[in-house]
Structure 1
Amino acid sequence: MNKLIGILEDDQGIRDILEFLLSEEGYEVECYTTVNNFLTKKDSSPDLFILDVMLPDGNGLEVCKILKSSPKTSATPVIMMSAHADMQQMNSGCRAEEFVKKPFDIFAMLEKIVQLLNKGNPTTH
């Protein structure tokens, strides 16, 4: 079964690029444009979350705090993205595993995703 990645990003261009790249890499992708849509989607359990910080109806840092405080999602890796925040703000805001500053290198982002999804699950090739 393919790994599921949940993306909360209001910028259509970034969302489309991530969705295309991750789909091409064999991941399932669920995209959300608002905090409300993201938080009301209850029937999925992504293996990794990618969250933008500045959203039209909320803040990705608050979403990260919610995810990390829930027993269901506390161990699920989170990648925060922002053009305005820095790592110190991310660390004080939530316990995300990674922070990516926009604009980002798409291949570096993919590498971080692969590392987080394979953490604790060594590949046997």
Structure 2
Amino acid sequence: MAKRVFLLEDDEGIRQVIELILNLENYEVTSFENVEKFMAANTNDVPDLFILDVMLPDGNGIEVCKELNALQQNVPILMMSAHFTSADVALSCSDASFIPKPFDLNTLIDTVKRLIGDN
């Protein structure tokens, strides 16, 4: 069975590229364009990895990260941002990994594999 990734990214182009790349790597990707749709997802449906953009039109990926950590699902979280740094993210969501935008596709794939344990 394919490993599952939930992707929260408001930029349609970036969202489509990440979905395509991860699908080619045999991951099943469910994507969301905003926090409202992400939070409305079935909470019993837990993926193997969350990928969260920081700056979103209706919220903040760091706050989503905090909420996910509060649920104690022990699912890895990968944060990404063009405007924040890993240090910024670590202050508020210390358990999350981070990649800056723009990112190298190989770096994204390698990070996803490492976090899911798919090496």
**Cα RMSD after superposing both structures:** 1.3
Deviations 1:47-93 (A, max 9, x none): 0000000000000000000001103x2x1000000000011110011
Pair 1:31-2:36 in alignment: no
Structure 2: gaps spanning 5 or more residues = none
Output the CA distance in 1 between the equivalents of 2:33 and 2:92. Answer: 21
For residue 97 of structure 1, report the CA deviation from its aligned partner: 3.2
User: Structure 1 vs Structure 2: percent identity of aligned residues?
Assistant: 42
Aligned residue for 2:57? Answer: 56
Q: CA deviation at 1:95?
A: 2.6
User: What's 1:7 paired with?
Assistant: 7
Q: Could you list the runs of 5+ residues in structure 1 that have no partner in the other structure?
A: none
1:56-95 matched pairs, under 5 angstroms = 56-71=57-72, 73=73, 75-95=74-94
Q: Partners in 1 of 2:64 and 2:34 — Cα distance?
A: 11
Larger radius of gyration: 1
How far apart are the structure 2 equivalents of 1:77 and 1:22? 16
TM-score, normalising length: structure 2? 0.94
SS of the residue 2:29 aligns to: strand
Q: Does 1:98 align with 2:97?
A: yes
Secondary structure in structure 2 of the residue aligned to 1:46: coil
Query: TM-score under structure 1 normalisation?
Result: 0.90
Indicate yes or no: 2:112 matched with 1:118: no
Structure 2 partner of 1:109: 108
Q: How many residues align?
A: 118
Mapped partners of 1:58, 1:93: distance in 2 = 15
